[in-house]
Amino acid sequence: MAQDVHCIIGASGQLGTEMALSLKSAGERVVLMDIKPPSFEGILDLPFEQVDVCDAARLASALGENGITHVYHLAAALSARGEQDPQWAWNLNMKGLLNVLEIAAGHVPLARVFWPSSIAVFGPESGRTAAQSGPRIPGTVYGISKNAGEHWCAWYHRQHGVDVRSVRYPGLIGTLAPPGGGTTDYAVEVFDHLEGPEPYRCFLDAHEKLPMMHMDDAVGAAMQILSVPRERLTTPEAYNIAALSFCPAELFAEIRRHVPGFKYECIPDYRQDIAAGWPDDLDDALARADWDWNPTVDLSDLVDTMVKARHSNQPLSPAL
C-alpha cells in the first residue's frame, strides 16, 4: 500500500508549525503549504509549496502533484483580526474550507481531512460550560465562519462521503510559532514579557476565564481523532475538547511561582468583549467517550514548559 502523505495547509502558522514538527518526528511524509514560507528551523527541511488556499486551481494541482492523502486545513483568520476586516476573514475562512472540501470530494480524492472548529462557535446563550450540542450563536465573524464550516463539513460527509473530522479548539499555547490575531493570544504573548522592565499589559480583564490548551494536547487531539475508525464518531459536529480553564489572574499567579518578579497590569480592549461572549469551559464527555480524548498537560506543567522554553528560545511576537 502506498504511504500516506500529509499536507498541512497553514503550515507557517502557530498550530501548523507544531503539527508539522510532530508529523515529521513521527517519521511521516509531510508537505507544507502556506502563502508565506515557514520560519521555524526544525521544519525547514520539509517540502514547501507556496499556495493561497483561496486559489482552488493551484490548491488542487499542488495536492494532486504531491500525492496527498491527508490534509490538515489550518489556514484561517482568527477572532480579533477577523473583527477588524470581516469580509477578508469570511472569504479566507469559508472559501479556503470550501475549496478543500470540494477537492476532497472530487478530482483529488483524499483519505482524510482535519479542519479545526473553535470555542468561538459559542455565544452567551451557551452558558458557562458549553454543551456539545447546545445553542451556538457566535458573536464574531470568525465564530460565524467556524459554525458555518461545521455545517459544511457535515454536508460534505453526508452528500459526498468526505471523511472530514473536527474538534473545537480553545486558546492554544505553545512555543514554536506565534499566534496570529486571536482573543486568547495573551496567554502566549505574556511569556515574552516575563522579565520586564515594564509590566506585561494584558488586553483582557484579570478575571475573564477562558478554555485553554497546551499544544501537545492540541496536536494529540488531531492525531487521535484522525486515527480512529469513522464509525466511532457519533456526531456530525466538531467535538468539544477541554483541557484547562483559567483567567489572566490565575495564569499570572502561576507564572509568579516560577518568575517571582513578574509584573502585569490588565487594560481590557475590544478583545475583552469577544472573550466575554465565550464560555469558561466546555463539556467534552462525548469526545472522551467516542475516541478516548484525555488531555495530559495541566496549568503547572504548561507554565513550567513555557517559562523554560522562553529562557532558551528566541522570543515570539504575536503577529496581530
For ligand SER, the binding residue among 69, 99, 118, 145 (CB under 6 A) is 118
Q: Binding of ligand SER at residue 16 (CB under 6 A)?
A: no
**Residues belonging to the active site:** 142
Separation between Cα atoms, residue 266 and residue 55, nearest integer Å: 41
Comparing every residue's Cβ against ligand SER, the nearest one is 182
Minimal distance, residue 250 CB to ligand SER, in Å:
18
For residue 248, state whether it binds ligand SER (rule: CB under 6 A): no
Q: Using the rule CB under 6 A, is 105 a contact of ligand SER?
A: no
What residue type is 129 in one-letter code? T
- Minimum CB distance to ligand SER, residue 319 (Å): 13
Q: How many residues at the interface with ligand SER, by CB under 6 A? A: 11
Q: Which is nearer to ligand SER, 69 or 145 (CB)?
A: 145
Contacts of 67 (CB under 8 A, 6+ apart): 2, 5
Cβ-based nearer residue to ligand SER, 12 or 183 = 183
Which of 53, 119, 144, 247 is in the footprint of ligand SER by CB under 6 A? 119
Shortest reach from residue 29's CB to ligand SER, in Å: 29
Q: Which among 244, 16, 235 has a CA at the least distance from the CA of 115?
A: 16
| Footprint on residues 168-227 left by ligand SER (CB under 6 A) | 169, 171, 182-184
Given a contact cutoff of 8 angstroms between Cβ atoms, the answer to whether 120 and 138 are in contact is yes
Nearer to ligand SER, 110 or 191 (CB): 191
Taking the complex as a whole, the smallest distance from the CB of residue 89 to ligand SER amounts, in Å, to: 11
- Report the site for ligand SER in 72-91 (rule: CB under 6 A): 78-79
Binding interface with ligand SER (CB under 6 A)? 78-79, 118-120, 142, 169, 171, 182-184
